[in-house]
Amino acid sequence: MSKRNYVAEIESRVAGIPCIIGVIEFSSHRGSYSYNAPSDLDYCGYTELEYDILDRRGRPAAWLERKLDGAARDGIRHLVCECLA
């Protein structure tokens, strides 16, 4: 199995366990906040993000991904946006 190429690899923690967030895809568009915006997404802006949770050696860690809850997912989204935007 070949190693996946990531846009970025960011050190983080899931449930207090050190891990790496392997960012597969990241796209962020700021909102225009203009009343003439063609859609609500153009008005408010949006972020598209796809990532893998990896152990410290860079291997996929499904067992760590199962520990994620809504708050942890939001934290990862914030961390990736902070690092890549």
pLDDT given at position 49: 94
Label each residue of the chain as H, E or C. Answer: CCCCCCCEEEEEEECCEEEEEEEEEEEEEECCCCCCCCCHHHHHEEEEEEEEEECCCCCECHHHHCCCCHHHHHHHHHHHHHHHC
pTM of the model: 0.81
C-alpha gyration radius of the chain: 15
Q: What is the pLDDT along the chain (85 residues), one digit of tens a residue?
A: 457 899 999 999 999 999 999 999 999 888 888 888 888 888 888 889 999 999 999 999 999 999 999 999 999 999 999 999 7
pLDDT given at position 2: 52
